[in-house]
Amino acid sequence: MNREKPDISSFEDTLNTKVHDLVVHNDDFNTFDFVIQTLIEVCKHKPEQAEQCTMIIHYKGKCAVKSGDYSTLEPMYREILNRGITATIE
Protein backbone atom coordinates (compact mmCIF):
# COMPACT_ATOMS: atom_id res chain seq x y z
CA MET A 1 0.00 0.00 0.00
CA ASN A 2 1.50 3.29 -1.12
CA ARG A 3 0.29 6.31 0.87
CA GLU A 4 1.04 9.82 -0.26
CA LYS A 5 1.92 12.49 2.25
CA PRO A 6 -0.72 15.22 2.56
CA ASP A 7 0.03 18.54 0.91
CA ILE A 8 0.73 20.71 3.96
CA SER A 9 1.07 23.91 1.93
CA SER A 10 -2.61 23.81 0.98
CA PHE A 11 -3.52 23.31 4.64
CA GLU A 12 -1.41 26.34 5.60
CA ASP A 13 -3.06 28.40 2.86
CA THR A 14 -6.46 27.47 4.29
CA LEU A 15 -5.43 28.66 7.75
CA ASN A 16 -4.15 31.96 6.41
CA THR A 17 -7.30 32.67 4.41
CA LYS A 18 -9.82 31.60 7.04
CA VAL A 19 -12.30 34.34 7.84
CA HIS A 20 -12.46 35.35 11.49
CA ASP A 21 -14.74 37.77 13.31
CA LEU A 22 -13.64 40.57 15.60
CA VAL A 23 -16.28 40.49 18.32
CA VAL A 24 -16.86 43.29 20.83
CA HIS A 25 -18.56 42.32 24.10
CA ASN A 26 -20.86 44.33 26.33
CA ASP A 27 -19.64 45.70 29.63
CA ASP A 28 -20.93 48.06 32.30
CA PHE A 29 -18.02 50.50 32.10
CA ASN A 30 -17.70 52.04 28.63
CA THR A 31 -20.16 54.60 27.31
CA PHE A 32 -22.03 54.31 24.04
CA ASP A 33 -20.15 57.33 22.70
CA PHE A 34 -16.75 55.85 23.58
CA VAL A 35 -17.53 52.52 21.89
CA ILE A 36 -18.95 54.29 18.83
CA GLN A 37 -15.84 56.50 18.56
CA THR A 38 -13.58 53.46 18.96
CA LEU A 39 -15.34 51.58 16.15
CA ILE A 40 -15.04 54.62 13.89
CA GLU A 41 -11.35 55.12 14.63
CA VAL A 42 -10.15 51.53 14.89
CA CYS A 43 -12.44 49.61 12.52
CA LYS A 44 -13.05 52.50 10.10
CA HIS A 45 -16.82 52.23 10.54
CA LYS A 46 -19.16 54.94 9.32
CA PRO A 47 -20.93 56.64 12.25
CA GLU A 48 -24.22 54.90 11.47
CA GLN A 49 -22.57 51.47 11.33
CA ALA A 50 -20.71 52.10 14.60
CA GLU A 51 -23.95 53.17 16.30
CA GLN A 52 -25.82 50.10 15.05
CA CYS A 53 -23.04 47.76 16.24
CA THR A 54 -23.01 49.48 19.63
CA MET A 55 -26.76 48.97 20.01
CA ILE A 56 -26.38 45.27 19.13
CA ILE A 57 -23.54 44.96 21.66
CA HIS A 58 -25.74 46.55 24.32
CA TYR A 59 -28.88 44.49 23.66
CA LYS A 60 -27.40 41.16 22.51
CA GLY A 61 -24.24 41.12 24.62
CA LYS A 62 -21.81 41.08 21.71
CA CYS A 63 -21.46 41.91 18.04
CA ALA A 64 -19.09 40.90 15.26
CA VAL A 65 -17.83 44.34 14.24
CA LYS A 66 -15.35 43.26 11.55
CA SER A 67 -14.56 40.13 9.54
CA GLY A 68 -11.32 39.17 7.86
CA ASP A 69 -8.15 37.17 8.12
CA TYR A 70 -6.44 36.99 11.50
CA SER A 71 -3.48 39.16 10.56
CA THR A 72 -5.80 42.01 9.54
CA LEU A 73 -7.99 41.78 12.65
CA GLU A 74 -5.25 41.31 15.24
CA PRO A 75 -4.01 44.95 15.34
CA MET A 76 -7.61 46.20 15.63
CA TYR A 77 -8.24 43.69 18.41
CA ARG A 78 -5.15 44.88 20.32
CA GLU A 79 -6.15 48.54 20.00
CA ILE A 80 -9.70 47.85 21.18
CA LEU A 81 -8.29 46.00 24.20
CA ASN A 82 -5.87 48.87 24.87
CA ARG A 83 -8.87 51.19 25.08
CA GLY A 84 -10.42 49.02 27.80
CA ILE A 85 -13.12 47.41 25.66
CA THR A 86 -13.60 43.64 25.82
CA ALA A 87 -13.12 41.90 22.47
CA THR A 88 -12.27 38.52 21.00
CA ILE A 89 -11.28 37.12 17.64
CA GLU A 90 -13.47 34.14 16.79
pLDDT tens per residue, range 50-78: 999 999 999 999 999 999 999 999 999 99
Radius of gyration over alpha carbons of the chain, in Å?
17
Tell me whether residue 48 is in a domain: yes
Asked if the model's pLDDT at residue 10 lies above 60, the reply is no
Asked if the model's pLDDT at residue 5 lies above 60, the reply is no
Is 0.85 topped by the overall pTM?
no
Tell me whether residue 33 is in a domain: yes
How high is the pLDDT of residue 88?
98
Strand pairing category for 87-89 and 20-25: antiparallel
Tell me whether residue 46 is in a domain: yes
Tell me whether residue 53 is in a domain: yes
Instruction: Tell me how many domains the chain contains.
Output: 1
Q: What is the share, in percent, of the chain residues with pLDDT greater than 70?
A: 82
Tell me whether residue 6 is in a domain: no
How high is the pLDDT of residue 50?
98
Q: For 11-58, write each residue's pLDDT tens digit.
A: 555 555 789 999 999 999 999 999 999 999 999 999 999 999 999 999
Interhelix angle 32-43/47-60, rounded to 10 degrees, is: 130
Tell me whether residue 12 is in a domain: no
Tell me whether residue 70 is in a domain: yes
Structural domain for 68, as ranges = 28-84
Is 84 in a helix, a strand, or coil? coil
Tell me whether residue 71 is in a domain: yes
